[in-house]
């Protein structure tokens, strides 16, 4: 089996776990979002930020867990790979790796709450990520004469490039 991607490091950048009855239902449960960054000085180095929001189910008015978590990971490709292949691998594998780490952190942390531990559901990133990308495209402001997404592409000139 060929190795393409290595997780160099990761950091939990946000972890809010609340036991509350004062929370609105999340429409997508879990709600997942992501952002990919790239080192402009080394085309094999990427960063990824993954955000997850979820809540446990309970009867109306009864307390439940509401969880917001964010993790950032830094990845390196072992060798130079075709750009299109890199984009697929960093999205699918990067998100899968970071989501798996968050599952363990959330399970461990939630075990101290009155409801007991909560395990994030398994997700299939090949299905989830296209839905996230579609949601993002719909929320981009449209400018006359510009193609959808043109505004997002202009941001790529920063020191750390954001990948569409």
pLDDT tens digits, residue range 62-119?
788 889 999 999 999 988 789 999 999 999 999 999 999 999 999 999 888 888 888 8
Burial class of residue 31 in the structure, from the number of CB atoms within 10 Å of its CB (0-12 exposed, 13-18 middle, 19+ buried): middle
CA-CA distance, 77 to 115, in Å (whole number)?
Answer: 41
Hey, what CATH topology would domain 5-124 get? Answer: Bacterial Protein-export protein SecB (3.10.420)
In whole angstroms, what is the distance from residue 153 CA to residue 87 CA? 15
Over the stretch 117-142, which tens digit does the pLDDT of each residue have? 888 989 999 999 989 988 888 887 76
List the domain boundaries for the chain.
Answer: 5-124
- What are phi and psi for residue 100, nearest 5 degrees? -60, -40
């Amino acid at each position: 089996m060929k190795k393409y991607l290595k997780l160099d490091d990761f950091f939990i950048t946000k972890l809010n776990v609340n036991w509350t009855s004062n929370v609105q239902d999340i429409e997508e449960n879990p709600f997942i979002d992501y952002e990919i960054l790239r080192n402009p000085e080394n085309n094999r180095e990427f960063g990824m930020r993954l955000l997850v929001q979820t809540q446990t189910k309970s009867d109306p008015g009864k307390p439940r867990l509401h969880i917001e978590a964010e993790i950032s990971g830094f990845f390196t490709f072992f060798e130079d790979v075709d750009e299109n292949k890199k984009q697929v691998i960093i999205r699918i594998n990067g998100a899968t790796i970071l989501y798996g780490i968050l599952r363990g952190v959330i399970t461990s942390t939630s075990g101290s709450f009155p409801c007991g531990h909560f395990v994030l559901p398994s997700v299939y990133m090949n299905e989830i990520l296209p839905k996230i990308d579609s949601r993002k495209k719909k929320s981009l402001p449209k400018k006359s004469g510009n193609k959808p997404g043109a505004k997002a592409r202009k941001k790529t000139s920063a020191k750390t490039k954001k990948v569409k």
